[in-house]
Amino acid sequence: MGTRQGRRGKSGQCGLTGSRSSNARRAVAIRHVAFEDLGTFGELLAGRGFDVEYLEAGRDSFDAVGDPDLLVVLGGPIGAYELDIYPFLASEAKLVEARLRSGRPTVGICLGAQIMARALGARVFPSGVKEIGWAPVTLTEAGRGSCLAALGDAPVLHWHGDTFDLPAGATLLASSALVEHQAFAIGRGALALQFHVEVKSRDLERWLIGHAAELAATKSVSVPGLRADTTRFGLVLERNGKACLARFLDACALL
C-alpha cells in the first residue's frame, strides 16, 4: 500500500463509522500524480482522528483499499476514458462502482469525479475547452443545501479539459460559466467535484511545474496570472475547502 499519514484520535471525533477495532477511522486516497494530493483535506482528516493512506494508481494494487471509512479519488492529467492507454483505470472504475453501490462515503475530485461518473454509466468526454484558473461556481438549489454551501461565492481552482454527462440518479450541485456539470451527489455518501477545493496555496507551484507542458500548450492561461490569483484566493479556499469536507463528513453520520 502507499504512504500513511495522520494520527490516531479519540472515538467520536467524526460521525463516520467503520469496522476497525481501534479508535482511528481509516481514509484512503487514490493518488494519480504526487503533487495532486489531499492538501487541506489531509489536515482536516488527521485532525478528526483518521489514519490517512495513499494508494498510488498504476503502481499499487486496488485490492489494498479494502473498506475504509472514507475513500477519496484524486485528480490527474489523464482521461477517465483512456483505458487503452492506462489499463489500471478499468480496475479503478470497478472499485469505485462497488464503493458507490455500497453507499459508503466517497469523494471524487476532478479525474476522481469523472471516474465516479463513468462508474455510474455516464459518458466522460473532452469538453472542448480548457478550464484552468480561479473562478467561482454557481450552486444549484440542491447545492446550496449541501456541503458546498461552505464555499460561498469565493473562487475555486479549476484545472480540467474533460467533462461528463450527469449520471442517472445523481443530483447536480454546481455549474460554471464554461462547464455545466461541475459537481454532483449520489445520496448523502457520494460527492463528485470537477473543481479543486483541497489545494494548498503553497503547493500550487508544484502544479505549475507538473503541468508545464499543458500550460505551455494552453495559450490563454498565464502562469504569472495563476500564481497571482492563488495569492489572492488561496487562503480563503483553504478555509472553505476544509469547511466543505467537514460538512460532508458530518452529513455521512446520517448513513
DSSP collapsed to 3 states, 174-198: EECCCCCCCEEEECCCEEEECCECC
Angstrom distances, CA of residue 34 to CA of 24, 67, 179, 203: 25, 23, 26, 11
Helices 40-47, 223-252: axis angle to 10 degrees equals 30
Q: What is the reported pLDDT for 15?
A: 32
Least Cα distance to 238 among 101, 14, 44, 9 occurs for 44
Q: What is the reported pLDDT for 22?
A: 56
Average pLDDT in the 13-35 region?
69
Question: What is the Cα Rg of the chain in Å?
Answer: 17
pLDDT averaged over the chain? 91
Least Cα distance to 173 among 108, 78, 121, 101 occurs for 108
Please answer whether residues 246 and 238 qualify as being in contact, where contact means their C-beta atoms are separated by less than 8 angstroms: no
34 confidence band (pLDDT: 50, 70, 90): very high
Please answer whether residues 228 and 134 qualify as being in contact, where contact means their C-beta atoms are separated by less than 8 angstroms: no
Average pLDDT in the 161-188 region?
96
Residue 10, pLDDT > 80, answer no
Cα–Cα dist 96/82, whole Å: 16
Residue 172, pLDDT > 90, answer yes
Residue 9, pLDDT > 60, answer no
Q: What is the reported pLDDT for 220?
A: 87
Cα–Cα dist 106/94, whole Å: 14
Q: What is the reported pLDDT for 253?
A: 77
Q: Mind listing the domains of the chain with CATH numbers?
A: 4-252 (3.40.50.880)
Average pLDDT in the 179-193 region?
96
Q: 45-83: per-residue pLDDT in tens?
A: 999 999 999 999 999 999 999 999 999 999 999 999 999
Q: What is the reported pLDDT for 175?
A: 96
